Each structure stands twice: as structure tokens, then as C-alpha cells.
Homo-oligomer: A and B are copies of this chain.
Amino acid sequence: MESQARQLVSLIENITYAFGMQSLDGQCCNENISHGEFRALQVALNQNLCTMQDIARSAAVTKSGATRIAKRLEDKGLANRQQDHKDGRICCVTPTEKGRTLLNRIDNQLMDRMGEILAAMDPAMRDILIISLNAFVRAVEQKEIGDGHERETCCAMGVNPFPDNG
């Protein structure tokens, strides 16, 4: 299992590389949207109430970072912000029609690319890939829940544990 772990670390490095920023840049550079903005737009689309905290979590930034991302999305006409009616502290982010269209376009490009890759694989292999990768992601989530894995904890040994996320 030691060697499996090693293999997996390297495989995931490769995947992260192939599908990370640089890949997204390929899809997005014409759209002029950063990875953080992309992720924020995604949660804004998928949740009917998307707070700054949600954006911070999803884009792995602090809450001030989330504010900045939301502002950029607003400036680009991709999302709107408005106060929540029930809790006045909360700022809801919702994608505009333009934002939805953009997200859709990027998504389709990613899907096309993935489709081509999958087409090169044996169908049976595809099936077990999906099954086992699902199991893996569940295991990751499980582990992070077990750890109480919030972003703040990562540098907890440092001087200033969580200055911006409290």
C-alpha cells in the first residue's frame, strides 16, 4: 500500500497539472476569468444561497479574498451581490445571465475535452475508473471530516493561526 500511495500521489500531481489552472487558462483566457473566479461562479450557480464564506471555502481564499473575487465578478458583469433578507449580515452572490452563459461555455469545453480522453479508454476501464474515483473522493471527504479539516487549521502551528477567517 506504501507503493500505491506513492503512485497515487504522482498520478494526482499529473492530473492536477493537466486539469489545473493552466488547463482552465486554456478554456478561460479568452473569457478573462481566473481560477478563483471560476470556482466562485460555480458555487454561486450550484447553491441558491451563496455566501462569501462559500466562495472563500470553494476558492480556498480568506474572506477578504472572497470579497475581492465577488467584486471582480460583479465588475465583469458575471454576478450580482445583495444582502440577504433573513440575515442582514449575509451577502448573497448570484450569477447573472452572462455569468451562467460563460460557465456553461467553459463547462462544455471541459466536457468535450474529457469526452475525447474517455473515448481513448477501454469502456470497462472507464466504468471502473468512475466507480473507484468516486470511492476515492468519498474517502478523501471522510478523512477531511474526521480531521475537522477547515482551512484555518493548516498553519495552526504558526504565530497567527487564523487571522482572517474568524
Contact = CB atoms under 8 A, between A and B. Distances in A.
A8 B129 contact: yes
A106 to B, nearest CB: 10
Interface string A47-84: 00000000000101000000000000000000000000
A30 B161 CA distance: 11
A8 B118 contact: yes
A7 to B, nearest CB: 6
A8 B154 contact: no
A119 to B, nearest CB: 7
Interface of A: 1-2, 4-9, 11-12, 14-22, 25-26, 29-30, 39, 58, 60, 107, 110-111, 113-122, 125-137, 139-140, 142-144, 151, 154-155, 157-158
Q: 6 closest A-B pairs (Cβ-Cβ)?
A: A22-B60, A129-B132, A26-B154, A5-B114, A120-B139, A29-B155
